[in-house]
Chains A and B, each alone.
Chain A
């Protein structure tokens, strides 16, 4: 069996609202899968379900053929940075070392020299070794994001889940984060939830779209059809500043292209005025 992650008929409800509807997904070893979709489409819920953080209504999630309780050690998790208290009094090195703790309680536990060196190596991998003794409150968004990746790596995962790793991050850090992920992907399977469409064209092997239901698209050729289906309109594409680079050939009729061009122009205008406002 070559699938590291296998999800069958997964349904999740929040109180009475259907958040995820009968999702099926197989992820092969070595894949770099991006899951895109609108806000509120259930991307984070999906990750939380895989990680065993919420109750599923029905369905089965297997990692290397085992359920989450038995496959914890295979999983690395990089949460959204907005969910974490970035003012907590803890140093960069200490954050990475928390991932070394085995399941259970750890009375009288002290981190050994080997633990420290191990953690430093993980920090080196994401390029922030020199920040090891800083307090996390002093990190930039990009540095903090890389710290969370280092922490996930310190659990020595076979499959890495990332939740919006490039939101709240400047463009330069974004590049670096994708470089790191690209490097890691040689050994680790990666599943990333994102709405950053620029990233997808360059780094990702497969994509799936999630908006309560999941549609697997395979190779990252974003047809306008795909995007429209997910977002309802191409606004999001343009808002990210990448109108056509990530799009495949238009396969629709001529007048439709005309139409969509018009739309792009309008959206560009809207976008420009938005930019001006934010400045």
Chain B
């Protein structure tokens, strides 16, 4: 596979996409797993399908549409959540399926022959374009920078939001910022694992890291490394055996989690 990486542009793109995905996935995944926001992330991911469809219909980059839809849905879920409180899973479900439905309608409205949506639904790391890559890079830089710059705010806020609020920290701002970061992360991952499969990639490395360390920073780092490993091995398998890359990576994530879980049981 190394020859292919050196020879082909699409392989180089795939490797860069994989590295970016693993980094954001490691950082945000740890937060999502710790704060039990996995379903919320799933909702945001599925809503972005509407944006992809709109992009195709109106003739702009689908990934831009995905960014707009996922950020708006993240903010929407955040606002409604604050008002409705306990009913968050209902709201997430609404966004989830309405976003998908919009995508289907938009694609159906296209006068021309509909495009192949599979690479957005199930991910295809080998079809990552230059525009995708630039968008992914910009979002990754934003995610990493915001996390590092406000690291101590995050730590205080995530550990005890109520205490942080009493102390006058900007907890509302942090809450919505986190939702936006999750939305951006999901979009970065869509090209790798696809809208439908993205949750496994988002959670598995972080969940395994949880078995390994009790320190927030090292959990993120372990999670990044695990993400890269899983993606690289997945890419290698899918390249050599001609399997769908997104699905291969997701199945590997599942296997990795299972192994991590069994080892953690033995430790106890």
Q: Judge whether B169 and A137 touch: CB under 8 Å.
A: no
Question: Any chain A CB within 8 A of the CB of B46?
Answer: no
A52 adjacent to B166 (CB under 8 Å): yes
**Does chain A have a CB within 8 A of B132?**
no
In the complex the two chains form, what is the Cα distance from A72 to B214 in whole Å? 31
Residues of B within 8 A of A199 (CB): none
Does B150 count as interface, using CB distance less than 8 angstroms?
yes
Residue of A nearest to B216 (CB): A89
Q: Are A101 and B169 in contact (CB under 8 A)?
A: yes
* Nearest chain B CB to A130 CB, angstrom units: 18
A102 interfacial contact with B, CB 8 Å: yes
| A48 nearest CB neighbor, chain B only | B162
- By beta carbon, the residue of chain A nearest B152 is A109
Q: A88-B159, A90-B216, A105-B173 are in contact. Are A111 and B166 (CB under 8 A)?
A: no
Identity of the chain A residue whose Cβ is nearest the Cβ of B213 in the assembled complex: A89
Is B159 touching A98 in the complex (CB atoms < 8 A)? yes
Contact of A89 among B165, B168, B214 (CB under 8 A): B214
Given known contacts A84-B160, A90-B155, A98-B156, A103 and B219 CB-to-CB distance under 8 angstroms:
no
Task: State whether the Cβ of A24 lies closer than 8 Å to any Cβ in chain B.
Answer: no
Residues on the A chain within 8 Å of B160, using CB: 79, 84, 98
In contact, A135 and B156 (Cβ under 8 angstroms): no
Determine which of B159, B167, B173 lies in contact with A103 in the assembled complex, contact meaning CB atoms within 8 Å. Answer: B167
Within 8 Å of chain B (Cβ to Cβ): is A94?
A: yes
CB-CB contacts below 8 Å: A65-118 with B: 72, 75, 77, 79, 83-85, 88-91, 94-95, 98-99, 101-111
Contacts of A99 in B (CB 8 A): 163, 167
Q: In the complex, which residues 153-178 of chain B have their Cβ closer than 8 Å to any Cβ of chain A?
A: 153, 155-156, 158-160, 162-170, 173
Q: How far is the CB of B170 from chain A (nearest CB, A)?
A: 5
Complex alpha-carbon distance, A104 and B171, angstroms: 9
Q: Is the CB of B150 within 8 A of A89?
A: no
- Kindly state the separation between the CA atoms of A125 and B223 in the bound complex, as whole angstroms: 37
Question: Which residues on the A side are within 8 Å of B152 (C-beta)?
Answer: 98, 101, 106, 109-111
Q: What chain A residues lie within 8 Å of B34 (beta carbons)? A: 85, 88-89
Cβ-based interface call for B240 (8 A): no
Question: Measured between alpha carbons, how far is A243 from B156 in the docked complex, in Å?
Answer: 42
Q: A89-B215, A89-B219 are in contact. Are A155 and B167 (CB under 8 A)?
A: yes
**Bound: A51/B164 CA distance, A:** 12
Known: A72-B167, A101-B152, A106-B153. A135 touches B159 (CB 8 A): no
Interchain nearest-CB distance for B251 vs A (Å)? 28
Complex Cα gap A208–B34 (Å): 39
Separation of A51 and B155 alpha carbons in the complex (Å): 22
B149 at the interface (CB under 8 A from A): yes
| Residue contact A103 to B169, C-beta cutoff 8 Å | yes
Interchain CA distance A94-B155 in the complex, whole Å: 9
In the complex, which residue of chain B has the Cβ closest to the Cβ of A98?
Answer: B156
Q: Other CB < 8 Å A-B pairs besides A99-B167, A103-B169, 11 of them?
A: A77-B163, A85-B34, A89-B219, A90-B216, A98-B152, A99-B163, A101-B164, A105-B150, A105-B153, A109-B153, A111-B152
21 sample A-B contacts, Cβ–Cβ < 8 Å, listed by A number: A72-B167, A75-B166, A79-B160, A79-B162, A84-B160, A85-B159, A89-B34, A89-B216, A90-B159, A98-B152, A98-B155, A98-B160, A101-B153, A101-B156, A102-B168, A103-B167, A104-B169, A105-B150, A106-B150, A109-B152, A151-B163
> Which 8 pairs from chain A and chain B are nearest by CB?
A103-B168, A98-B156, A135-B214, A89-B216, A107-B149, A89-B214, A109-B152, A88-B159
